[in-house]
Amino acid sequence: MKVLITGSNGQVGSCLVKQLQSCPEIEFLAVDRDELDITSKQEVINTVNNFMPNIIINAAAHTAVDKAENEVELSYAINRDGPEYLAQAAEHVGAAILHISTDYVFAGDKDGSYSESDTVNPQGVYGESKLSGEKAVINACSRHIILRTAWVFGEDGNNFVKTMLHLAQQRNSLGIVADQFGGPTYAGDIAAALIKIAKLITDSKNTFNANNYGIYHFSGMPHVSWCEFAQVIFDKAVEQKVLVKSPDVKGIKTEEYPTPAKRPANSKLNTNKITIVFNTPASDWQSALNHLSDYA
């Protein structure tokens, strides 16, 4: 199996590289923006035609949600055009594309968790550009997996866990949003899920059912608020002696912490489909916090 990874320096991309290094049966080419500008159609064509992958995993994205409100052109170039070029190139060489998307494609106002068939209604540029990317990939490549996820964190890159640990060393009390809910998702679990799917697709026994291409949700359980997530981080950090003591955590409302882009109040994703089809359980985000010294 030959795998092309884009966005290799990001949270998920770096985990993909680490995990694939222990898979000798898989040849992979990992590229970030310096090695491949996915917004250049010709660069994408050249890279894919030269490497001839069986699988393309697109972990590249413009994920700066607030900046996206002003960087509209850039957001669509990276989140829509790049995925489209990768999907077109995949189709041309007979490869499958595994593309990471987001909970932001939903309005976030539903009661209960979102399933793959629920109506999409993004509320900002980031969500709109990511939804456009989903549609572009689906239209360009018949062999596609769209993996929607949420609240991603890991040892590499910037994320909520690192921010909380940093703030906890500076302040005695913190106000954390308590009326937005979702499933924190460990980047390493996303990478493992993608590799598992890639192996099933390229299985020499050809047991993969083509009807299983499509959209899947993958995120963490149990669902919590940002405030509850932060408290677990602090409790575990104290247990592991990463922090001397936990700051006092006060739950605040979304309107008390205004941001340029609107956040979904409900980012809960139903992961039953991926569990059934690919035997992949939801991300165990609490276990992923058992080695917080790696995040500090």
Asked if residue 204 has pLDDT above 80, the reply is no
The whole-chain average pLDDT of the chain stands at 96
Helix or strand run (H / E) with residue 98: strand 96-102
CATH of 2-158+185-222+267-285, one of 3.30.420.40, 2.170.130.30, 3.40.50.720, 3.30.9.10: 3.40.50.720
Q: Which residues are catalytic?
A: 126
Handedness of CA 206, 209, 210, 213 (dihedral sign): negative
> What gap in Å lies between CA 152 and CA 161, rounded to an integer?
9
Domain ranges of the chain: 2-158+185-222+267-285
User: What band does 203 get if pLDDT is binned at 50, 70 and 90?
Assistant: confident
pLDDT at 208: 84
Query: Exposed/middle/buried for 109, CB within 10 Å: 0-12, 13-18, 19+?
Result: exposed
Asked if residue 133 has pLDDT above 90, the reply is yes
Contact by Cβ (8 Å): 11, 152: yes
User: What band does 101 get if pLDDT is binned at 50, 70 and 90?
Assistant: very high
pLDDT tens figures, 154-163: 999 899 999 9
Q: What is the pTM of this model?
A: 0.97
Q: Which of 18, 3, 9 is nearest to 191 (CA)?
A: 18
Length of the chain: 296
pLDDT tens figures, 59-94: 999 999 999 999 999 999 999 999 999 999 999 999
Q: Is 14 helix (H, G, I), strand (E, B) or coil?
A: helix
Asked if residue 268 has pLDDT above 80, the reply is yes
pLDDT at 296: 75
Return the amino acid letter for 148: R
pLDDT at 18: 97
